[in-house]
Structures are given as structure tokens and as C-alpha cells.
Amino acid sequence: MAGRFGYLGLVLAAFALMLLGKADVLVMERVRASVSDAVSPVLEVLSRPVATMDRVVDELTALSTVRAENARLREENQRLIEWQSAARKLSSENQQLKGLLNFAPGAEPGFISGRVIADSGGAFVHSVLLSAGARDSVAKGQAVITGDGLVGRVHGVGTRSSRVLLITDLNSRIPVVVEATRTRAILAGDNSDRPRLIHMAPGVIVSAGDRIVTSGHGGAFPPGIPVGVVAHVSEGGVMVKPYVHRDRLEFVRVVDYGLQGILDSSSAAEGAGVSK
């Protein structure tokens, strides 16, 4: 019974407050302000646990993220340790095999970087002019490369400049191998963008996409310099797509591998004179 009267009293009080609010707005605003001032400390106290709980939830979420990241890093670190162990094992085996073969490593090649300052631009000659010459220790027969692969060889040397015969030139002949099968061949330029493989052994199977590298025979170039990939195989021959594009040459590296497979005529004449 008391609960019913209490509920009825609250309804009547609410109704009276509504009437009072309509009758005197200023009084109601003051009452609302007073009630807000009185309740705000209580609400502030009650809100603190909620804010604290929000911070706890955020920290737990961040902690979960950190744990997941830590687990990922541990797994990655374990893989790196395994690769490091494998690399050390391979390095040790490599040293042992070199010892068994009585392997003597060669000297590190010297090199000169130069800019391409002119292109022959003709259909009958494939060569470029470099801004490095004899004063920069450039010599005839040295290999010219980029980060992509073999460009050609130094064909003529001046004091301040040198001319490079590209691998696509008609006069270019380079001993190469098909990397996958170790098949030997000669890369012959024909003044087109696709030099050909010639002098291959009969019955050799070459497929499009096979990688072509220098063989090291003839003493002109060291083995293993990337040259290009087989672009097309037909009855007309095996066409190779060079890694280096002639129209994109800007900076090249002239490398001295210490090989004497290609000598200039003056050196040959001097050698002949000495032999006499």
C-alpha cells in the first residue's frame, strides 16, 4: 500500500513540476542548475571507475597486440637464426672445398664509372662513346657492364674518351653458356636488338627463358657475367634478349678483370717486336 501511495506521490510531484516549469521558467532553470550542481560531484565519482575501466580495457588490448607482435618477432628471429646457421655451415663447407681443390682466389677487379656521352645511333654500327679514357686507366678489351648485365667491350681508347662495342654489333662475338645446361655457344651480334647464339653443339636443346651468361673462354670476359635470356627459338636460330637496353644506357662501369684475351694492335705489334 505504501509503495502505491509513494508511486502516486512521485507522479503528482512530476506533474506539479511540469506546471511550475510552465508557469515560471526562471525558477525552473535555477532549480535545474542547483540539482546539476548537487549531482555533478556524485556523477564525477561514479564516472571515475568507468574511465578507469576504459583505460584498463585499452591497456589490455594494447598488451594483447604487443604479445602478438612479440610472438611474430620471436618466430621471425628463429627463422633468421636458422638461416644464419645454414649460411655458416655453407661458408664452412665452401672453405673446406676450396682447400681440397687448392683454390686460389683471384684479385678483386678494378673499375671506372663513366657516362655515355654519345651513341652511334646507326643501323650498321652499335657502339657508344664514354666520358672516360686512357687517363682514367681505361684500356682496349675491358668489359663494360651495368647493374643489369654485360654492355660490351672497349673497342677504342682516347685520352679523355673511349668507344664501346655493344654486344649487339655485327662485329661482336662473345663466348657464352646456357646457364641451366652449361651448353657453350657464341653470342653473335647482327646489328639488331636480338643477337643470336651460334656454334652450338648439334642436338642441344635450348628453351625460351634460358639465362645466358659469359663462359670465360677466350680470355675476353670472366665467367658468369649476365648477358640476357633466350627470347625465341626457331629454325632460323636462337635469339637472345639482352638484359641491357641500348636506349637506356646512361652510366656504365668499365671493369678491368686483368684478362688479356683482347689486345690492341699496338700491344700486339710491340709483342711481335720483342719476340724478334
pLDDT of 89 higher than 70? yes
What is the pLDDT averaged over residues 32-36?
69
Of 107, 62, 75, which is closest to residue 258 (Cα–Cα)? 107
Instruction: Give the model's confidence band at 195: pLDDT under 50 very low, under 70 low, under 90 confident, else very high.
Output: very high
Q: Which domain holds residue 255?
A: 110-264
Same domain, 72 and 171: no
pLDDT at 67: 85
Distance CA 61, CA 63 (A): 5
Question: Domain boundary residue among 75, 105, 135?
Answer: 105
Same domain, 122 and 210: yes
What is the pLDDT averaged over residues 150-157?
92
pLDDT at 265: 39
Of 247, 187, 246, which is closest to residue 211 (Cα–Cα)? 187
Same domain, 20 and 124: no
Same domain, 154 and 256: yes
What is the pLDDT averaged over residues 180-194?
91
- Neighbour-count burial for 186-198, b at 16+ CB within 10 Å, e otherwise: bbbbbbebbbbbe
Instruction: Give the model's confidence band at 196: pLDDT under 50 very low, under 70 low, under 90 confident, else very high.
Output: very high
Which stretch, 68-82, 93-107, 254-268, has highest mean pLDDT?
68-82
Residue 270, in any domain of the structure: no
Same domain, 156 and 236: yes
Same domain, 143 and 182: yes
H or E element, residue 213: strand 211-214
Question: Domain boundary residue among 86, 105, 124?
Answer: 105
Same domain, 115 and 250: yes
Specify the CATH number for the domain of residue 153: 2.40.10.340
Residues above pLDDT 90, as percent of the chain: 25
pLDDT at 229: 95
More confident residue, 129 or 269: 129
Of 183, 174, 175, which is closest to residue 206 (Cα–Cα)? 183
Domain count, the chain: 2
pLDDT digits (tens, 9 = 90+) for 204-230: 889 999 999 999 887 778 888 999 999
Of 160, 150, 146, 149, which is closest to residue 118 (Cα–Cα)? 160
Answer whether 220's CB lies under 8 Å from 141's CB. yes
Q: Count the neighbouring beta carbons within 10 Å of the beta carbon of residue 228.
A: 24
Residue 269, in any domain of the structure: no
What is the pLDDT averaged over residues 136-140?
90
Answer whether 167's CB lies under 8 Å from 151's CB. yes
Same domain, 195 and 133: yes
Same domain, 227 and 116: yes
